[in-house]
Amino acid sequence: MTRSRDREIRRAMLAELRGSAPLVAIVPATSIFSQIVPANQLWPIVKMGAPSGVAPVRGTCMDGAESIVAVHGFTSGIRQGKKLIENGEDHAGRIGDAIATALDGKRLPLEGGGMVRIRWTGSQLLQDAQEAGGFHTVQNFQMRRLT
């Protein structure tokens, strides 16, 4: 019987993001979240988006599903005191590249068995309307889960 296993996939992806040295050099592992971000969290942050199931994958002795998810990064740049060292647009671009690199092409084992294969499918870099100088990177992924 097909089921999404979103919980297991999310946990595997979060572990991979938090364990990525290039990403953690830009965004601390303690600032990488699921969809739930604590109130008043300082930027930069990375958070998972809502996964969407696309199609079941069935075959002889195989059960799985395809789904998509976006991983988001938010920043208003890097400052030393009052001096802006890197603007939000450039910093968000680097965060997005690090997210894509951390997950693209990965095959991650899932709690309870099976694995998920992740493929980067594109991105978008947006100016954040709520935060002056803030930017938002959106990194899109397709996942294929097999058990």
pLDDT of residue 83: 95
CA distance 39 to 12: 24
* Angle subtended by helix axes 6-18 and 88-103, to nearest 10: 120
CA distance 120 to 129: 26
Mean pLDDT, to the nearest integer, of 77-93?
95
CA distance 109 to 16: 11
pTM of the model: 0.92
**Domains of the chain: residue spans and CATH:** 6-34+42-146 (3.30.2000.20)
Model pLDDT for residues 3-30, shown as the tens digit of each residue: 668 899 999 999 999 999 999 999 999 9
